[in-house]
Amino acid sequence: MNLNQKSLIDGILEGDRLIIGKAISLIENGEKEGFTLLKEIYPLKKDIFVLGITGPLGVGKSTFIDKIIEKLTDEFDKIGVLLCDPSSPISGGAFLGDRLRLKTKNENVFIRSMATRTFPYGISPSLPFIIDLFSASPYRNIIVETAGIGQGDVSIKNFSHLTLVLLSPLLGDEIQFLKGGLMEISDILIVTKGDYDIAEPFYKTLKNSISIFYNDLIPVYMISSSNGFGIDDVYNEIMKKRLDLFSSDKYLEREKIRRLETFKYLLKELYTKKMIEKIEKEGDFKEIEEGKINIYQKILDIIS
Ligand SMILES: Nc1nc2c(ncn2[C@@H]2O[C@H](COP(=O)(O)OP(=O)(O)O)[C@@H](O)[C@H]2O)c(=O)[nH]1
Ligand SMILES: [Mg+2]
């Protein structure tokens, strides 16, 4: 470990915001230095709590987070917020609009927006590694907002300890929700924009469906981030479930999943990338283009 790395690690352990920001950039850029850093801090990790917040674009995720941060900062010393912002499919650039919704100026809240780039999932490509980074820092109560761009968002379940699914009465989400596998991942269901008249019947129908199909196993709430309705109830439910996690085997079970999924994710993201680069370097791409290589033979050679 060189001096530079040592000061990075010390900065992360101490919660130095500038250094954590720098470390995130190293990881996001896929630089080897970032992964060397992760290797060094892996043994220094402590228990982390990741609250995943998902639901379609525009449902009110960021606005809800803004409300819930106020309460979380009363309870916990430091809060990390990771926003997976949808990237524009045309320009490839991120809107980074989520950041604008979060108004907190609290020094103990670390907020980072991360573009999803052209990544097919609703999470940013480096999110699982950044969660590991945070677990060595004092920011060990983390909120993650997914991009809300499609079915890929459900992958958040693999990396969070508690998953909140938000649905808006305005988007006709019920069908989308039933189709998209969101039901399977939700620990708490939240109907947003409760200040609209149509919210109440939507909420009742949803609650009814949950009681029929899921035996009331998933709690359902209605909130309004505009007038504050229901926010306290959701907060109390989160805290209740958090306590339940830590006082049972459930936390360890979720951690087992998170560790393994993070490793598989590393393989998918980095190993595949390296393999493609290697094959390209060897000049095989040209021959593949020209039909000189039997691609199925090539794959058999690689995997055997
Ligand atoms: N009326 C009303 N509008 C809301 C509420 N929550 C969010 N919004 C609005 O819905 C839009 C999308 O909210 P945003 O939090 O960015 O959604 P996200 O894409 O899920 O993060 C914004 O214009 C918000 O002001 C709410 O409780 N009531
Ligand atoms: Mg948002």
From the number of C-beta atoms within 10 Å of its C-beta (0-12, 13-18, 19+), residue 263 rates as exposed
Q: Is the pLDDT of residue 94 over 70?
A: no
Q: Which CATH number fits domain 45-247: 1.10.1330.10, 3.40.50.10310, 3.40.920.10, 3.40.50.300?
A: 3.40.50.300
Beta strand 220-222 with 188-191 is: parallel
Instruction: Specify the residue with its C-alpha closest to ligand 1, atom 24.
Output: 60
CA of 57, closest atom in ligand 1: 19
Question: According to the per-residue pLDDT averaged within each range, which of 109-118, 152-161, 254-263 is highest?
Answer: 254-263
266 alpha carbon – ligand 1 mean position (Å): 34
* Short-list 58, 109, 107, CA closest to 225: 58
Evaluated on CA atoms 238, 240, 243, 248, the torsion sign reads: negative
Tens of pLDDT along 108-155? 999 998 877 656 677 888 999 999 999 999 999 999 999 887 777 888
- Asked if residue 148 has its Cβ within 6 Å of ligand 1, the reply is yes
Give the mutation target among 59, 63, 177, 227 for probing the ligand 1 site: most ligand atoms within 8 A of CB: 63
Beta strand 109-115 with 79-85 is: parallel
User: What percentage of the chain reaches a pLDDT higher than 90?
Assistant: 62
- Asked if residue 40 has its Cβ within 6 Å of ligand 1, the reply is no
Question: According to the per-residue pLDDT averaged within each range, which of 166-170, 210-214, 218-222, 266-270 is highest?
Answer: 218-222
Tens of pLDDT along 30-46? 878 999 999 999 999 99
Residue 246's CB is within 10 A of a number of other CB atoms, namely: 13
Task: Give the model's confidence band at 179: pLDDT under 50 very low, under 70 low, under 90 confident, else very high.
Answer: low
- H helix intervals, 169-294: 173-179, 182-185, 199-213, 231-246, 250-266, 272-281, 284-289
34 alpha carbon – ligand 2 mean position (Å): 27
- Asked if residue 224 has its Cβ within 6 Å of ligand 1, the reply is yes
Average pLDDT of span 14-32: 92
Mean confidence (pLDDT) of the chain: 89
Residue bearing tokens 């994710």: 265
